[in-house]
Structure 1
Amino acid sequence: MDPADSAAIEKIAAELLSPAETLRANTMAPALRLEFLASRLAQQDFAATLLGVPASKLQAAYECPDCGSGPDIAHGRPGYLLDGGPAPLALSASRSSGWVLFAAVVHPGPGLRVGADLENAAGTEFTGFDDVALTVRERRHLDALDPAGRPQERARLWARKEAWLKMTGDGLRVAPDSLDVLDRAGLWDLELPSSAGGRDLPAGLLAALAISAR
């Protein structure tokens, strides 16, 4: 990354991100730290644009089943405070291969939740993945495919699982090999463009979206 870009990210992050987000960023290696800060700034800008307010009006307030919720939390389900109360936004985010995916619903109805996930097929290509990540039915489905098509399908299934578990808030507290996503209602595969922002997306990038009104 260009030093000028890095300096700009650091400056804007210091102005806009919460102390909890900055503290979390400071635990990371330099390159990962900048990627994290840039993604959080992009997320805040995305939320502010949807809500029609300046990004400076929003304060990050994440929700974690184990740690609680509020501005002191910087992990788990993303959310923001606006004018002292929860911003009217159901939001999900995912990062992979230097890219970030956001999904949101403005002024969501009671109980509406969203989950989005972005995966690179290369990240699921290791021995033992299928045994811990896929159900018996999903493994049979994968085995029936031509070997050349299995990496993409494996990553597609994993993106669907991650999106669903982000939507429910369970995360990997639920064993992924117990969650069948082959034809689960409320799940959609997202068709990604071949390029974005003038840059080609990596080959093998898959995305999924989950929505529930429960």
Structure 2
Amino acid sequence: MSSDVVFRAFAVGDVPGQEPVRLDPAEERRAVAMAPAVARRFRAGRMALRGFAGALLDVPPSELTADYCCPQCGRNADLAHGRPGYSLHGRPLPLLLSLARAGDWILLAGMRAPAAGLRLGVDIEDPADVGFPGFDRTALTAAEAATIGRTPERLRNAARARLWARKEAWLKMGGGGLRTAPAAVDVLSRPGLRDLVPEETGLPPHLASAMALG
């Protein structure tokens, strides 16, 4: 089943331009509340996702309407967070989508015509962002922290990034994100959760990435 997932990776400045495509009002309201650099990455990610969804179903991106769903907030036109999706002329499109960012890199994942109830989450992480004091105590379960402790020191941040990418992917798949305490979620081994490699994503090799599907 995971072989049906399509991946695309972009640097923020390399997101393909789309013939006139705008963010939906709820997305734009979220963007204008952000700091300029964050808003730039947010807009780039949402534009890339819209173009990606259109390409997967051969639909002009300019005709798509964002259709996000949050387990807590439900689904409505004012929503710009939660599980991503799109509709066309009021009809939800048969797609699973997930988006992740790390620095100036964006990773998109999508599946056409998914089975009913199937969910998808991806994430990317930079090892340079997870080596701060207290990370293991705050983010990892005891078993995960023990695994890091057995890892050669020069490889520990890469191992931390892999675990954090798995956690984010798993929590995105569930739809709740970091509303769940990450230290309560053990991701050493879970069905449907796996690391991704640069050859399938197109990401730089120093970044960790993971996918959860189930």
Q: Please indicate the TM-score interval, normalised by the length of the shorter structure.
A: 0.7 to 0.9
Partner of 1:182: 188
Partner of 2:70: 64
Matched, 1:31 2:33: no
- The structure 1 segments of at least 4 consecutive aligned residues displaced by more than 6 Å after TM superposition are none
Unaligned runs of 5+ in 1: none
Amino acid at match of 1:124: V
CA distance in 1, matches of 2:141, 2:114: 32
CA shift, 1:195, in A, is 10
CA shift, 1:61, in A, is 1.5
Amino acid at match of 1:142: I
* Partner-residue secondary structure (3-state), 1:126: coil
Partner of 1:191: 197
**TM, length-normalised to structure 2:** 0.86
Matched, 1:140 2:142: no
Partner of 1:18: 24
Amino acid at match of 1:140: A
* Partner-residue secondary structure (3-state), 1:70: coil
Residues 30 and 173 (structure 1), Cα distance of their counterparts in 2 relative to 1, 3 Å cut? closer
Partner of 2:160: 154
Where does 1:39-188 land on structure 2 (aligned, <5 Å)? 39-188=45-194
The answer to which structure has the higher strand fraction is 1
8 Å contact kept, 1:16–1:55: no
The CA deviation string for residues 9-30 of structure 1, in whole angstroms up to 9 with x for no partner, is 7x94xx4310001111111222
* Larger Cα-atom Rg: 1
CA distance in 1, matches of 2:193, 2:83: 18
Partner of 1:210: 212
Unaligned runs of 5+ in 2: 1-12
The CA deviation string for residues 64-110 of structure 1, in whole angstroms up to 9 with x for no partner, is 22322133111121111112111110111101111111111111111
Indicate the RMSD between aligned Cα atoms, in angstroms: 2.3
CA shift, 1:147, in A, is 0.3
8 Å contact kept, 1:113–1:167: yes
**TM, length-normalised to structure 1:** 0.86
CA shift, 1:194, in A, is 11
CA distance in 1, matches of 2:178, 2:42: 21
Give the number of equivalent residue pairs.
200
The CA deviation string for residues 21-72 of structure 1, in whole angstroms up to 9 with x for no partner, is 1111111222222221111111100000001110012101111223221331
8 Å contact kept, 1:61–1:72: no
More relative contact order, 1 or 2 (CA 8 Å, 6+ apart): 2
CA distance in 2, matches of 1:30, 1:132: 29
Residues 194 and 186 (structure 1), Cα distance of their counterparts in 2 relative to 1, 3 Å cut? closer
8 Å contact kept, 1:21–1:74: yes
CA distance in 2, matches of 1:47, 1:194: 18
